[in-house]
Structure 1
Amino acid sequence: MLLHAEFVPADEDVAVVGSSNTDIRSFALDHGVHLMVVDPGFRTGRQDVVQSYHEDSHELDPNSWPARPRHQEYLDNVARLTSALQ
Structure 2
Amino acid sequence: DFETWDSHSPQGRRPETQGPKYCHSSFDAITVDRQQQLYIFKGSHFWEVAADGNVSEPRPLQERWVGLPPNIEAAAVSLNDGDFYFFKA
**Same topology, TM > 0.5:** no
| TM, length-normalised to structure 1 | 0.29
Greater fraction strand: 2
Greater fraction helix: 1
Higher Cα radius of gyration: 1
